[in-house]
Structure 1
Amino acid sequence: MPKPVFPLDSKRKFTDQALIGHNRWHPDIPAQVQVKPGDTFRVDCREWFDGAIVNDDSADDVLNAPLAGVHVLSGPIAVEGVQPGDLLIVDILDVGPIPQEDTGPLAGQGWGYTGVFATRNGGGFLTEQFPDAYKVIWDFRGGQATSRHVPNVSFTGIVHPGLMGTAPSHDLLRKWNAREQALIDTNPTRVPALALPPNPDSAILGSLSGSDFERARNEAARTAPPRENGGNQDIKNFTKGSRVFYPVFVEGGNLSMGDLHFSQGDGEITFCGAIEMGGFIDLHVDVIKGGMATYGVTENAIFIPGNTDPQYSEWIAFSGTSVTLTGEQRYLDSHLSYQRACLHAIDYLMTFGYTDIQAYMILGAAPIEGRLSGVVDIPNSCSTVYIPTGIFDFDVKPGKNGPAKINPGMGVPKAAA
């Protein structure tokens, strides 16, 4: 096993650990660990809510989730000799659930969860159709995920970190805050909000203390969106065997990571989506000196995906175009066309006996493929959703005898907003 450089004790809260990570982006958060180019090491990661979501049949914990405290990230990890303008090479050698126990109280110890936030808490990709809070528990066994809340489905996990990135510079942080506040100002009362401004409440900034902590907690950026430093990109193929090239904005790079997923569909459309868990990630790091200028990577990481994904050979696909549910034509709106493709898939799965929220949870957690299939044919973009047929234990293809009828079981726990 690679040397653990950021260990976490599963019996202690994130803020009670020997090394305390962070849940905001700020250049002044001190590195908790230093490694060298060429080093291989292990990092433990806590589930993004630090244990607030539990393994039961209620969605009250998702409705009342402590959103100001996410994401709990392990790091920063400084790489010796790395300077702004370099490219930090990060190889994902292995990633998986918490290995200490088969079952336990924390997501990752034999189980994980998929949730839908209430609209007032950020909602999801289909928040107009699903405005309340929901939760599905998934059990892990032999690399497979099954759920008592979504029967007749099982699939192999594509385990990956939802969030990994380098620290921003002061200039980059100011740019983030200015542009996101300008967006908020266009509709400051919108629900859900257009963006999340800095929020000192529940800020965790590693070992930063005193007046430096007080200043930084009011400046630090929330970790919810992806940005130029990588961050919360939620790329399902970002798994074992991947190599990432991160732009470096501060001395040491200050790499951080967390928000591990057992599986996810393209887009993580339920928002508290994927199958959330805690676990470990083994990394190897190196550096390309001056690589940002050499390769034109001035912002946003590039990566070479791993090749460990489950191989599904048969799919059923659904398409959508950029026309609203009320019949309004939009111009090449790929976001809308992907929503419509997802809604068509949900309608289809309901004919087999699933509820609408069960179908939505399948799209969020299972390894579906989402594609932009046409973005030039005015006025309609076309997006497609591919569902692997092998995840179902019944024939999900259309046939002359009509759809098979499954028992939807106990259903998905709901907490009305």
Structure 2
Amino acid sequence: MPDVIFPLDSTRTFVDQEKVGHNRWHPDIPAAVTVTPGQSFRVDCREWFDGAIRNDDSADDILNAPLNSVHTLSGPIGVEGAKPGDLLVVDILDVGPIPLEEGPLAGQGWGYTGIFATRNGGGFLTEQFPDAYKAVWDFTGQKATSRHIPGVEFTGIVHPGLMGTAPSAGLLATWNAREGALIATDPDRVPPLALAPEPEDAILGSLTGDAFTTAAAEAARTAPPRENGGNQDIKNLTKGSRIFYPVFVDGAKLSVGDLHFSQGDGEITFCGAIEMGGFIDLRVDIIPGGMETYGVSENAIFMPGNTDPQYSEWLAFSGTSVTLDGEQRYLDSHLAYQRACLHAIDYLTTFGYSPEQAYLLLGAAPIEGRLSGVVDIPNACATVYIPTAIFDFPVSPSVSGPVTIDPGIGAPHSSFG
């Protein structure tokens, strides 16, 4: 096992650790530890809400989830010799739940998926699903099952939802300017169009005093993906993947967190993956001047691993860019994917699942989402592929009609009222 360079004690909170991570992006957050090119190492990661979500049959914790505090990132990890303009090569050697532990923290043998209430972040289908729901998943080896969504079992595609390098001061200013301009177009929107810097609940590693106050006022929230990688939620960044991140500051300052046991393409419920704490083993290297050499200035490039579960049979649903009210939109791929997801949800309810159970399942299970047609005006076409092997009953259409399953206790529900 590689040396653990960023350890986390499960009996202590994220801010009460030997090394304290961060939950905002800022170039002035000091590196918590430094590694050398070619070095392999292990990083412990805390579940993104630091234990606020519980293994129970209530969704009140999802309803009141503290969004100001996310994400609990491990790092920054400095890389000796890395300079702005380089590419940082990151190999994912292994990734998994918290080893050899059972307990109250997500990752200790279990994880969760949540539908966030519209007033607390919402999700991809928040207009149809405005309230908070939760599903708890139990881990048996690589398999996940849930008492809240019975009748399914699947192999997790374990991956980090969030990994990236620190922005430069100039890049941070660009983020804040463009996202602030977007917010200004509809500042009272629920959920908001973007998340402005928020000093409250900011965790900035070892920064203290005036340096902390200054950075907290301008540090970027970690919710979206950006030029540095960040919260990309790419389910295929699993064991065996190699990622090439742009470097914007000396040392690169790599950070990682938001581990997922499994996720469907899009993480559509917002907390759509199976969230957990755990570990990730990494190896890093540097391509000097790689950003200019390969024209990589505002995106990360990755080579996915080859350890994903192999499904051979799928049931696919399509959607086009027409709203539920029948309004035609022009090549709106986002809307088309929403409609495909809604069609899949409607279909799954014919077997006895509630719409919320089906929605949670699409967020957590290893579905494939694809942009299938983006040139045939006026309709974009998107598709959702569900592996049929995850169900323990026949799920394809037949002349005998859908079987009726026992939906169990259902997904816990909580509402703002």
Structure 2 residue 359 is matched with structure 1 residue 354: no
Structure 2 residue 67 is matched with structure 1 residue 67: yes
Counterpart of 1:254? Answer: 253
Task: Give, as a single letter, the amino acid of the residue that structure 2 aligns with 1:375.
Answer: V
How far the C-alpha of 1:13 sits from its partner, in A, is 0.2
Task: Give, as a single letter, the amino acid of the residue that structure 2 aligns with 1:266.
Answer: D
Cα distance in 2, alignment partners of residues 299 and 398 from structure 1: 44
Instruction: State TM-score, norm by structure 2.
Output: 0.99
Gaps of 5+ in 1: none
Counterpart of 1:311? Answer: 310
TM-superposition CA deviations, 1:232-260 (whole Å, max 9, x none): 00000000000000000000000000000
How far the C-alpha of 1:45 sits from its partner, in A, is 0.1
Cα distance in 1, alignment partners of residues 248 and 202 from structure 2: 22
Cα distance in 2, alignment partners of residues 219 and 178 from structure 1: 11
Counterpart of 1:43? Answer: 43
Counterpart of 2:15? Answer: 15
Cα distance in 1, alignment partners of residues 346 and 39 from structure 2: 49
Counterpart of 1:27? Answer: 27
Counterpart of 2:331? Answer: 332
What secondary structure, in the 3-state scheme, does the structure 1 residue paired with 2:24 have?
coil
What secondary structure, in the 3-state scheme, does the structure 2 residue paired with 1:15 have?
coil
Cα distance in 2, alignment partners of residues 366 and 344 from structure 1: 16
TM-superposition CA deviations, 1:73-110 (whole Å, max 9, x none): 00000000000000000000000000031x21100000
Cα distance in 1, alignment partners of residues 173 and 127 from structure 2: 33
Structure 2 residue 238 is matched with structure 1 residue 239: yes
TM-superposition CA deviations, 1:27-66 (whole Å, max 9, x none): 0000000000000000000000000000000000011111
Cα distance in 1, alignment partners of residues 185 and 159 from structure 2: 35
Counterpart of 1:275? Answer: 274
Cα distance in 2, alignment partners of residues 28 and 338 from structure 1: 39
Q: How many residues align?
A: 416
**Identity percentage over the alignment?**
78
Cα distance in 1, alignment partners of residues 96 and 232 from structure 2: 18
Cα distance in 2, alignment partners of residues 377 and 396 from structure 1: 31
Counterpart of 2:368? Answer: 369
Counterpart of 2:55? Answer: 55
Task: Give, as a single letter, the amino acid of the residue that structure 1 aligns with 2:229.
Answer: G
How far the C-alpha of 1:272 sits from its partner, in A, is 1.0
Cα distance in 1, alignment partners of residues 262 and 194 from structure 2: 26
TM-superposition CA deviations, 1:344-373 (whole Å, max 9, x none): 000000001111001001100000000000
Counterpart of 1:410? Answer: 409
Cα distance in 2, alignment partners of residues 33 and 200 from structure 1: 24
How far the C-alpha of 1:299 sits from its partner, in A, is 1.3
Within 5 Å, give how 1:174-253 maps onto structure 2: 174-253=173-252
Cα distance in 2, alignment partners of residues 321 and 15 from structure 1: 46
Structure 2 residue 82 is matched with structure 1 residue 82: yes
Task: Give, as a single letter, the amino acid of the residue that structure 2 aligns with 1:72.
Answer: T
Cα distance in 1, alignment partners of residues 37 and 375 from structure 2: 44
Counterpart of 1:296? Answer: 295
Cα distance in 2, alignment partners of residues 380 and 96 from structure 1: 40
Instruction: State TM-score, norm by structure 1.
Output: 0.99
Task: Give, as a single letter, the amino acid of the residue that structure 2 aligns with 1:271.
Answer: F
TM-superposition CA deviations, 1:210-230 (whole Å, max 9, x none): 100000000000000000000
Cα distance in 2, alignment partners of residues 54 and 344 from structure 1: 31
Task: Give, as a single letter, the amino acid of the residue that structure 1 aligns with 2:341.
Answer: C
How far the C-alpha of 1:142 sits from its partner, in A, is 1.8
Cα distance in 2, alignment partners of residues 343 and 63 from structure 1: 23
TM-superposition CA deviations, 1:288-313 (whole Å, max 9, x none): 00000000001110000000000000
Cα distance in 1, alignment partners of residues 98 and 141 from structure 2: 14
What secondary structure, in the 3-state scheme, does the structure 1 residue paired with 2:31 have?
coil
Task: Give, as a single letter, the amino acid of the residue that structure 1 aligns with 2:200.
Answer: D
Cα distance in 1, alignment partners of residues 32 and 402 from structure 2: 55
How far the C-alpha of 1:122 sits from its partner, in A, is 1.2
What secondary structure, in the 3-state scheme, does the structure 1 residue paired with 2:270 have?
coil
Cα distance in 1, alignment partners of residues 304 and 243 from structure 2: 8
How far the C-alpha of 1:121 sits from its partner, in A, is 0.9
TM-superposition CA deviations, 1:302-347 (whole Å, max 9, x none): 0000000000000000000000000000000000000000000000
Task: Give, as a single letter, the amino acid of the residue that structure 2 aligns with 1:61.
Answer: D
How far the C-alpha of 1:409 sits from its partner, in A, is 0.7
Cα distance in 2, alignment partners of residues 122 and 40 from structure 1: 36
Cα distance in 2, alignment partners of residues 22 and 273 from structure 1: 22
Cα distance in 2, alignment partners of residues 398 and 65 from structure 1: 39
